[in-house]
Amino acid sequence: AQSVAQPEDQVNVAEGNPLTVKCTYSVSGNPYLFWYVQYPNRGLQFLLKYITGDNLVKGSYGFEAEFNKSQTSFHLKKPSALVSDSALYFCAQGVGSARQLTFGSGTQLTVLP
């Protein structure tokens, strides 16, 4: 069975500093990976995805993620955090022809002014 781990429930970072939100996935075939963001009282919004190709994926709002097959990781990064980036972030994994999508438990990012 697929599994996605987000080891940090909470990440705090100062505005202007780089941020990283961690995600590791289970090894099973060729995974496709997503990052979604959830603002309070809203549904999830797509940030970026990896299927194949370049290990560095660029997404919305200046976010990017690095796929690392040897470490089975897909960490979300941004060079300079904004207060408006404060939200709940979810990593998700699907595999090959599988139809199911598995989400991590979420990481609450707080950017401090």
Partner 1 sequence: EAQVTQNPRYLITVTGKKLTVTCSQNMNHEYMSWYRQDPGLGLRQIYYSMNVEVTDKGDVPEGYKVSRKEKRNFPLILESPSPNQTSLYFCASSLFSNTEAFFGQGTRLTVV
Contacting positions for partner 1 (CB under 8 A)? 6, 9, 32, 34, 36, 41-46, 49, 51, 90, 92, 94, 98-106
Of 19 and 35, which has the nearer Cβ to partner 1? 35
Token duo for residue 86 = 């404060």
Distance CA(99)–CA(41), nearest Å, equals 27
Of 6 and 13, which has the nearer Cβ to partner 1? 6
Q: HSE of 104 in the Cβ direction (CA atoms, 13 Å)?
A: 29
> Scanning the structure block, which residue is given the tokens 């939100």?
21
Of 15 and 103, which has the nearer Cβ to partner 1? 103
